[in-house]
C-alpha cells in the first residue's frame, strides 16, 4: 500500500506558533519579575525551510512483499495405486516433457490388454465373414456330381467342401519314371501319350509330378507323373498307354505302361458362411461352371451383423480403456525442467500425502507479489517494477507485471492478490526466496514537482502550498493544481512556475 506522510494545515501550525510565543513571553515575565506592560520584548518571527519547484520525475508506487517462484512447478502423483516398478529419474536430473519418470506395476493390465486384442481380432474376423456372406453357392468347376456332402439346414464355412465332381470329358494316366527322368517334367508341361493297342498318340498336360517317389519290387524307386488327356470317343478307363517326352536335345523319355483312370475328384467349396436353405442338384448330375448349387438361409443375417458390429465397438472401447489404464501406470513428465524432489523408491507404493516427484522449470522465475485488495485496482499489465530480494540486499531487479489474478486469498482480515512479475535477471534466484517490490502504477518524467511534504492535499487534483506574502512576509496559502502523487514528490500542473519557492510548513513531519 502506498505510504503518505501526514500533513496539517497552516492554520493549525500558526496557532501552535502563537501559543508557543505567548507561553514563552509569560514565562519570561514570571521569572524576571518584570512587568510586561512596562517593558516590551521584541518577538522573533518563526522561520521555515523552503523548497523550490523543480523539473524531474514523479513516481506513484505501490509497495508489496512477495516470493520468488519458478516459471513452472509440477507435483507429480500417479493416478492409480500400486508399487513402483521402475524409477527412471533422480534429484537434480534435467528432463523433457513426456519423459517417463517411473512406472507402476502393470503386469495384470498388460495381460488383460492382450486378451482384449485377441477378442477384437476375433470380432473383426466374424464381422468380415458376415459382410462377405452370400445368399447362394455356385460351382466354380464343371463335371459330373460324384457326391453331395451337405443337406438342407447344415451350417457351412468358406472352406467347407459341399460337393465332389468328376470330369467325364478327361482321363488321367500316371506314368512311372526314374528320379532323373521325373526331374525333366513340370506341371503344365505338354507331353504325348502313346496308346499301345491302337498305336497312335494323343496330347496330354502334366498335372502333378511326384519328386518323392516310391520303391517298387524289382524296379527300384519310381516317381509318378500324372498326365490329363481329353477323352476321345474310343478311349476308356482301363486302356493301357505310355507317357512320352522328347527334350530339346532330342532325347526321348518313356514311362512304364499304365492304365487310364478317371481324373481326380474336384472339390467344390462353399465360399461363404451360413446355413444351407435348399440343395438345387442331385448326384450324377452334369454340372457346368457357374451353375447354382445351393441357396442360403439369410433370415437372421441382418440381426447377426448388427450384433457383431455392436460387439466389436464394445471390444474397442474396452481396449481403449485398458490402454489408458496402462498409460496411467507409465507416469510421464507434464513439463520440462529439473527434478527437485523424489519421494518414491522401487518396490514401494507412493505415499498418498505427498507428491511422488516434483519438477521445476528453472530456466526462468517470477516474483509473485501479495498485493492488498485496496491497491489491486491500480495494478495494470506491463507496469514497471523494482524487486528487492532479501538474499541480495538493496540491489533492485527490474521487472514488469505480466499476470493479474482473477481472485484473491483471504489472510486474517484482509484479502491479497497474487500479482505475477516477470524479471529480466534471474540467474542467481532460487524458488522460495522472499523479498518486496515497488510497483510503479503511475510515472511521469520532466514535469514540475515539489516534495510531498510541501503540499497540503485538499481534494482530487487540488492542493495548497504556503508562500510568503510579498508585503508582510507572512505565510500565505496558495491553491495549486496537482497531478501524480508520488512517494517522495508530487506533480505541480498549475499555480507555480519552475524555481518558485514554497515554505515547508510540514518540514518536521508534522
The domains of the chain, with CATH numbers, are 169-261 (2.40.30)
Of the pLDDT bands very low, low, confident and very high (cuts 50, 70, 90), residue 8 is very low
pLDDT of residue 17: 41
List pLDDT tens digits, range 423-434: 888 877 888 899
pLDDT of residue 31: 43
List pLDDT tens digits, range 290-337: 999 999 988 877 777 788 888 888 888 888 877 776 767 788 899 888
Q: Which helix (H) or strand (E) holds 437?
A: strand 434-451
* 17-23: average pLDDT: 41
Whether the CA torsion 473, 476, 479, 484 is positive or negative: it is positive
In terms of Cβ atoms closer than 10 Å to its own Cβ (0-12, 13-18, 19+), residue 249 is: exposed
Of the pLDDT bands very low, low, confident and very high (cuts 50, 70, 90), residue 27 is very low
Greater confidence, 8 or 146?
146
* 359-372: average pLDDT: 87
Q: Quick count: other Cβ atoms within 10 Å of Cβ 385?
A: 26
Residue 261's SS3 state is strand
List pLDDT tens digits, range 87-140: 999 998 989 998 999 888 766 666 777 788 888 888 888 788 777 788 899 999
d(Cα 323, Cα 105) in Å, to the nearest integer?
Answer: 14
Supply the pTM of this predicted model: 0.42
Strands (E), 111-199: 136-138, 143-148, 155-156, 161-166, 170-177, 190-195
Tell me the pLDDT of the chain averaged across its residues.
84
Share of the chain above pLDDT 90, in %: 47
CB of 305 closer than 8 Å to CB of 127: yes
pLDDT of residue 105: 77
Whether the CA torsion 130, 132, 134, 140 is positive or negative: it is negative
Amino acid at each position: 500500500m502506498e505510504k503518505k506522510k501526514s500533513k496539517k494545515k497552516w492554520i493549525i501550525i500558526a496557532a501552535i506558533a502563537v501559543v508557543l510565543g505567548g507561553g514563552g513571553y509569560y514565562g519570561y515575565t514570571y521569572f524576571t519579575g518584570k512587568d510586561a506592560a512596562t517593558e516590551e520584548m521584541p518577538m522573533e518571527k518563526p522561520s521555515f525551510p523552503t523548497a523550490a519547484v523543480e523539473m524531474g520525475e514523479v513516481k506513484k508506487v505501490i509497495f508489496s512483499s512477495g516470493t520468488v517462484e519458478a516459471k513452472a512447478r509440477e507435483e507429480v502423483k500417479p493416478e492409480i495405486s500400486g508399487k513402483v516398478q521402475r524409477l527412471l529419474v533422480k534429484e537434480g536430473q534435467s528432463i523433457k516433457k513426456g519423459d517417463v519418470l517411473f512406472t507402476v506395476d502393470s503386469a495384470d493390465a498388460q495381460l488383460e490388454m492382450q486378451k482384449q486384442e485377441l477378442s477384437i481380432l476375433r470380432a473383426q474376423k466374424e464381422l468380415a465373414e458376415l459382410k462377405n456372406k452370400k445368399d447362394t453357392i455356385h460351382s466354380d468347376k464343371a463335371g459330373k456330381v460324384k457326391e453331395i456332402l451337405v443337406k438342407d439346414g447344415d451350417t457351412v464355412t468358406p472352406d467347407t467342401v459341399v460337393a465332389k465332381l468328376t470330369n467325364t470329358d478327361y482321363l488321367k494316366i500316371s506314368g512311372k519314371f526314374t528320379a532323373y527322368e521325373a526331374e525333366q517334367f513340370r506341371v503344365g508341361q505338354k507331353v504325348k501319350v502313346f496308346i499301345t493297342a491302337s498305336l497312335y498318340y494323343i496330347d496330354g498336360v502334366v498335372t502333378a509330378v511326384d519328386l518323392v517317389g516310391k520303391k517298387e519290387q524289382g524296379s527300384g524307386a519310381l516317381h509318378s507323373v500324372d498326365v490329363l488327356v481329353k477323352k476321345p470317343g474310343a478311349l476308356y478307363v482301363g486302356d493301357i498307354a505310355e507317357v512320352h517326352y522328347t527334350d530339346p536335345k532330342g532325347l526321348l523319355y518313356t514311362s512304364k505302361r499304365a492304365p487310364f483312370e478317371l481324373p481326380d475328384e474336384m472339390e467344390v467349396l462353399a465360399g461363404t458362411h451360413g446355413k444351407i436353405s435348399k440343395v438345387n442338384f442331385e448326384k450324377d448330375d452334369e454340372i457346368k461352371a457357374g451353375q447354382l448349387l445351393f441357396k442360403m438361409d439369410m433370415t437372421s443375417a441382418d440381426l447377426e451383423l448388427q450384433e457383431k458390429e455392436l460387439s466389436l465397438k464394445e471390444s474397442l472401447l474396452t481396449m481403449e480403456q485398458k490402454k489408458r489404464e496402462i498409460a496411467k501406470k507409465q507416469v510421464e513428465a507434464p513439463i520440462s525442467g529439473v527434478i527437485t524432489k523424489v519421494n518414491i523408491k522401487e518396490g514401494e507404493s507412493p505415499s498418498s500425502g505427498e507428491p511422488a516427484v516434483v519438477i521445476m522449470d528453472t530456466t526462468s522465475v517470477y516474483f509473485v507479489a501479495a498485493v492488498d485488495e485496496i491497491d489491486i485496482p491500480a495494478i495494470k499489465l506491463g507496469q514497471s517494477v523494482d524487486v528487492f530480494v532479501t538474499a541480495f540486499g538493496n540491489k533492485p531487479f527490474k521487472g514488469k507485471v505480466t499476470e493479474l489474478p482473477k481472485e484473491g486469498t483471504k489472510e486474517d482480515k484482509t484479502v491479497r492478490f497474487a500479482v505475477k512479475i516477470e524479471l529480466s535477471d534471474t540467474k542467481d534466484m532460487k524458488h522460495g526466496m522472499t523479498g518486496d517490490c515497488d510497483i510503479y502504477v503511475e510515472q511521469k518524467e520532466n514535469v514540475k514537482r515539489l516534495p510531498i511534504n510541501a503540499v497540503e492535499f485538499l481534494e482530487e487534483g487540488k492542493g495548497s502550498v504556503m508562500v510568503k506574502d510579498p508585503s508582510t512576509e507572512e505565510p500565505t496559502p496558495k491553491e495549486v493544481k496537482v497531478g501524480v502523487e508520488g512517494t517522495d514528490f508530487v506533480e505541480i500542473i498549475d499555480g507555480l512556475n519552475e524555481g518558485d519557492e514554497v515554505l515547508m510548513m510540514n518540514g518536521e513531519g508534522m
